[in-house]
Amino acid sequence: MPLHHKTLAELAQGLRDKHFSSVELTQHYLNRIAQWDKTLNSYVTVTPERALQQARQADALRVKNTAGPLCGVPLAQKDIFCTHGVKTSCGSKMLDNFIAPYTATVVEKCQEAGLVMLGKLNMDEFAMGSSNETSFYGPVKNPWDLTRVPGGSSGGSAAGVAARLTPAATGTDTGGSIRQPAALCNLTGLKPTYGRVSRWGMIAFASSLDQAGPITQTAQDAALLLNIMAGFDSKDSTSLDSPVPDYTTTLKDTLQGLRIGLPKEFFATGLDDGVARVIDEAITQYKKLGASVVEISLPTSQLSVPAYYVIAPAECSSNLSRFDGVRFGYRCANPADLLDLYQRSRGEGFGAEVKRRIMIGTYALSAGYYDAYYLKAQKVRRLISGDFKRAFENVDVIMGPTSPTTAFKLGERSEDPITMYLCDIYTIAVNLAGLPGMSIPAGFSQGLPVGLQIIGNYFTEAKLLNVAHRYQQVTDWHKRIPPGFE
């Protein structure tokens, strides 16, 4: 089996058994990036020298027998995580020249675990988008069909892992940015409970919704990576101070008696027939594994998209104020005065979608509109959380489609923001409630991958991974590699 067909777990085993070195493995992926990424555009920055240096260190630790379980395994980081000494662009012209003097906690934890960073992955500008078309560095192609989008905003992460240009990647999810691209690229993606993973050094889009998580080939890999990423961080006041379980120990638990809730709102109009069929089959598979299924209702979930498109832009309008051309990032040429500096630096540095959201958010927070928009949206948010709370009194997990459709064509929705925003209709409520959610490969519709979404109660990541892993033991959708990238 070629190295790039292996999962994180298998690569770690190979390194432990000394079947190959980290340097060989890293070089293998660097070669694949060099060969394929001109086509895909999944990386913004590749860091070969740094990667090989880290690989050599990992190999040295292996010799000394002091290596952790994933030491020497390559990985790529979404370009939203600050990396000391390496450009962190966040997919924006605004930060095309930005090199952070500090490292995000997620990246630091990966480094401490001995993971080798191959580079920084493309993304929608400031994580605002569902197709990876808003990136300053150009769109990313879906390896399953190069005329289609990989999803977003973690589109580079998904395309990169799907094409095996990295065995795994980090992503961030504000309204579906891990789960939707994972679904569109036939991958396993996990958005943890809000507060489970530190946000320090992760460039903020909407602070109350943003959460980092893994994008991998399998649930087992996601468990291995989450073991490293999760945990309290005193530098993030919203991170939770409670111990992190070993997510790999419960992967094989039985699903006998598992109660699955299917929200009727997730199977109503707007859901593509082909996607619906695949999801039905996946549910049937779960019944075979011993689970029972009940229909539930999340009545307020209908309001999640409008509520999200008030709250997320409101927070982003404030979060992105720091990009003013004064201290770092893009600055316009020859500013005439302060106002000109602000207006042109921001006008030239930000792309259209980012500007649209800053304007929506500024409006929603304005005097006279705050109550009608921001406060109302916060009330809706509480109602949505209430819906889930009631649902979890009777079920262990909630399942449904991750995305209403399979991957759409590049350019097909980029001129129509409303259609684009509806991509995240099933994922957004999870962020508003702060719950953990996953997407796993569930099959194909007309040759394109379909993702099954699994939603759990707060801090039940172990349960989600267990539910996903058992499914992957009896299916092989997750093993499919896009034709041409084998």
Q: Which residues are catalytic?
A: 78, 153, 177
Binding region for another protein (CB under 8 A) out of 111-119, 282-290, 361-369, 442-450? 361-369
In this chain, which of 33, 197, 223, 314 binds another protein, going by CB under 8 A?
314
Mask for 203-242, x = binds another protein (CB under 8 A): xx-xxx-------------------------xxxxx----
367 is a site residue for another protein (CB under 8 A): yes
The single-letter DSSP state of residue 115 is P
In this chain, which of 52, 53, 98, 259 binds another protein, going by CB under 8 A?
98
Q: Among all chains, which residue has been given the structure tokens 């008030």?
A: 310
In this chain, which of 63, 326, 352, 474 binds another protein, going by CB under 8 A?
326
Nearer to another protein, 123 or 204 (CB): 204
Distances (CA, A) of 347 to 236, 316, 343, 353: 31, 16, 6, 12
Binding region for another protein (CB under 8 A) out of 25-33, 145-153, 199-207, 211-219? 199-207
Mask for 62-81, x = binds another protein (CB under 8 A): -------------------x
Nearer to another protein, 153 or 402 (CB): 153
Q: Among all chains, which residue has been given the structure tokens 């962190």?
A: 88
In this chain, which of 30, 40, 104, 442 binds another protein, going by CB under 8 A?
104
Binding region for another protein (CB under 8 A) out of 59-67, 96-104, 381-389, 470-478? 96-104
Number of residues in the chain: 486
In this chain, which of 82, 86, 307, 455 binds another protein, going by CB under 8 A?
82
Q: Are 126 and 90 in contact, with CB atoms under 8 Å apart? A: yes
Nearer to another protein, 295 or 337 (CB): 337
Q: Are 12 and 69 in contact, with CB atoms under 8 Å apart? A: yes
Torsion of CA 255, 384, 219, 80, to 10 degrees: -170
Whether a cis peptide bond, with omega within 30° of 0, leads into 42 is: no
Q: What is the rounded CA–CA span in Å between residue 314 and residue 189?
A: 27
Min separation Cβ 230 and another protein, Å: 17
Query: SS3 of 295, please?
Result: strand
Nearer to another protein, 212 or 448 (CB): 212
Binding region for another protein (CB under 8 A) out of 41-49, 269-277, 312-320, 429-437? 312-320
Angle made by CA atoms 223, 227, 233, in degrees to the nearest 5: 140
In this chain, which of 267, 328, 444, 485 binds another protein, going by CB under 8 A?
328
327 is a site residue for another protein (CB under 8 A): yes
Closest C-alpha among 79, 75, 72, 95 to residue 45? 79
Q: Among all chains, which residue has been given the structure tokens 């190959």?
A: 20
Binding region for another protein (CB under 8 A) out of 93-101, 130-138, 149-157, 251-259? 93-101
Angle made by CA atoms 300, 305, 308, in degrees to the nearest 5: 100
The secondary structure of 401-460 as a DSSP string is ESSSSSPPBTTSSTT-HHHHHGGGTTTHHHHHHT--EEEEEEEEETTEEEEEEEEESTT-
Nearer to another protein, 165 or 206 (CB): 206
Q: What is the rounded CA–CA span in Å between residue 387 and residue 302?
A: 11
Q: What is the rounded CA–CA span in Å between residue 375 and residue 354?
A: 22
Mask for 127-146, x = binds another protein (CB under 8 A): --------------------
322 is a site residue for another protein (CB under 8 A): yes
420 is a site residue for another protein (CB under 8 A): no
Beta strand 397-401 with 448-456: parallel, antiparallel or unpaired?
antiparallel
> Which residues contact another protein (rule: CB under 8 A)?
81-82, 88, 90, 95, 98, 100-102, 104, 199-204, 206-208, 234-238, 314-315, 317-318, 320-324, 326-329, 338, 342, 362, 365-367, 370, 374
